[in-house]
């Protein structure tokens, strides 16, 4: 695992966005995602997407929320939430996971991750 997928990339793939599908197909390793991403994905599913979502989720290495991730997410929140509107707890957990696991984040919501310097959308 060297890439952590954010919810937006997974939603794009479920909606058959060619850019997302091409990006996922080009990955040389099994992608990762956080359990908080699973929550976001499942809560936003449309009924027809459920079967495809289960299939997609089975191809991902899921990283649990641990105490070190939670603590770092809290510190990131203290540092960034006042100055950057729109950053949610899920974003903080994702950023902390990227940092602690040495992963590259694939997200379509770059503005939610100012703490990850140089981050660019994958497509």
Answer whether 94's CB lies under 8 Å from 4's CB.
yes
* pLDDT tops 90 at residue 119: yes
The Cα-based distances of 96 to 17, 75, 91, 93, 109 in angstroms read 28, 9, 9, 5, 16
Residue spans per domain, the chain:
3-112
Placement of tokens 């990131």 in the chain = 76
Convert the pLDDT of each residue in 1-46 to its tens digit: 799 999 999 999 999 999 999 999 999 999 999 999 999 999 988 8
| Unique residue bearing structure tokens 């992963």 | 103
| Rounded mean pLDDT, 73-94 | 94
Give CATH for domain 3-112.
Answer: 3.40.50.1010
Three-state helix/strand/coil letters over the chain: CCEEECHHHHHHHHCCCHHHHHHHHHCCCCCEEEHHHHHHHHHCCCHHHHHHHHHHHCCCEEECCCHHHHHHHHHHHHHHCCCCCCCCHHHHHHHHHHHHHCCEEECCCHHHCCCCCCCCCCC
In whole angstroms, give the CA distance from residue 123 to residue 112: 16
pLDDT at residue 61, as a whole number: 98
The stretch 74-84 carries a mean pLDDT of 94
Q: What is residue 1's predicted lDDT score, i.e. its pLDDT? A: 72
């Amino acid at each position: 695992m060297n890439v952590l997928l954010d919810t937006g990339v997974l939603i794009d793939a479920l909606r058959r966005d060619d850019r997302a599908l091409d990006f996922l197909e080009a990955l040389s390793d099994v992608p990762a995602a956080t359990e908080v991403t699973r929550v976001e994905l499942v809560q936003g599913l449309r009924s027809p997407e459920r079967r495809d979502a289960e299939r997609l989720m089975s191809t991902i290495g899921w990283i649990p929320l641990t105490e070190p991730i939670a603590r770092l997410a809290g510190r990131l929140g203290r540092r960034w939430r006042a100055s950057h509107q729109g950053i949610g707890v899920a974003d903080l957990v994702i950023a902390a996971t990227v940092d602690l696991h040495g992963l590259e984040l694939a997200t379509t919501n770059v503005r939610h991750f100012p703490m990850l310097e140089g981050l660019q959308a994958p497509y």
